Amino acid sequence: MDTATKRKLIGEFSTMKFIEQDAHDFYLKASLDPDASVLEIRNCFRSIAEDEKVHIELVDRIMNIINNCM
């Protein structure tokens, strides 16, 4: 893979990571909102926040593969 393609891929995955992090922060904040009185909803948001963390880890792994193996 040429350097320009590699840089483009890393840039795209960096953007994806930013979006996943932003989503994680949003759902975590929503899960902690004291005005959200329904516990099921707060727990659902907390679960989605955890899912977003997994997505961030996957994107990191992909970026490491691109950087180290290609």
Tens of pLDDT, residue by residue over 14-39, are: 999 999 999 999 999 999 998 888 88
The pLDDT of residue 19 is 98
- Interatomic CA distance for residues 8 and 23, integer angstroms: 23
- Interatomic CA distance for residues 46 and 50, integer angstroms: 6
The pLDDT of residue 63 is 97
